[in-house]
Amino acid sequence: MVKIEDLTFGYKRKGLLFDNLSMNLFPGKIYGLFGKNGAGKTTLLKHIAGLLFPKKGECKVFEQHSSDRKPGVLADIFVIPEEFELPGISIEAFVVINSPFFPKFDNIQMEKYLEEFQISNGQKLTTMSYGQKKKFLIAFGLSTNAQLLLMDEPTNGLDIPSKSQFRKIIASSANDERCILVSTHQVRDLGNIIDQVTIIDEGKIIFDQSIEEISKEFAFGKIKDGEEHEVIYSEEILGGKAAICKNKGMDSEVDLELLFNGVINNREKINNEFKK
């Protein structure tokens, strides 16, 4: 669905950001795109959406160069940005004006998502809180039924119950034809909804593995000094250490935050475990 090869890009004042970056996104998956602040997560999403153009290399969506911004391609992409402004119109008016750009838009779905997010359909967009506006955009984006959904920090501004609703709605909206890419630094907010962990750092994709493969290779948990474990990465916590260990038949939930820290601090050791 998305194929990026040797993408090179930079800003004049900041210098080179991507250095021959390559990645592929496939339908039927929810990707978690993680990286430190300034790693280029938002910039990468903008390249995929055709809002920025590579200096070298290529970015293709549905086998078309995203920079060509062909109407047929754009009709199957929806972007939920971190920062946005909404017009001073009602929800109904926004839907009437914008839904025709997305041929697969479903009004019944839209009503369902608004109800789940506890948003009244008669509200004016500018009177809503930031969190309500974010939930509205998520509801609209999912209702477009676009094959490619790009979400930049979608849980920013959401309270704890809303984050739980977000995870539930995203999980239920996934299907074999849709690819969802969620870019965030709040890794815990994605819970267990993602299928693939992709980490970007220093202009390259430095880690790209499925949750299934990560679970096979690693066990996550708290260990105490003196216990025998084949530790891959650990960090000090109250009462012991949070550790990534070689999985020897244990069942444990993937700790995304611990995994991210492990990859950032010792990417070679982490990645080598998948080459054995």
pLDDT digits 0-9 by tens, 80-89 = 999 899 999 9
Taking the CB of residue 220, how many other CB atoms lie within 10 A of it?
21
pLDDT of amino acid 249 = 76
pLDDT(15) > 90: no
Pick the range with the lowest mean pLDDT from 97-101, 147-151, 221-225.
221-225
pLDDT(43) > 90: yes
Q: What is the dihedral of CA 111, 115, 117, 120, to 10 degrees?
A: 90
pLDDT of amino acid 226 = 60
The dihedrals phi and psi of 158, each to the nearest 5 degrees, come to: -95, 140
- Over the chain, what HEC string results? CEEEEEEEEEECCCEEEEEEEEEEECCCEEEEEECCCCCCHHHHHHHHCCCCCCCEEEEEECCEEHHHCCHHHHCCEEEECCCCCCCCCEHHHHHHHHHHHCCCCCHHHHHHHHHHCCCCCCCEHHHCCHHHHHHHHHHHHHHCCCCEEEEECCCCCCCHHHHHHHHHHHHHHCCCCCEEEEECCCHHHHCCCCCEEEEEECCEEEEEEEHHHHHHHEEEEEECCCCCCCEEEEEEECCEEEEEEECCCCCCCCCHHHHHHHHHHHHHHHHHCCCC
pLDDT of amino acid 42 = 93
pLDDT of amino acid 276 = 67
pTM: 0.91
Pick the range with the lowest mean pLDDT from 126-140, 193-207, 214-228.
214-228
pLDDT of amino acid 18 = 92
Which domains, and CATH codes, for the chain? 2-202 (3.40.50.300), 211-272 (no CATH)
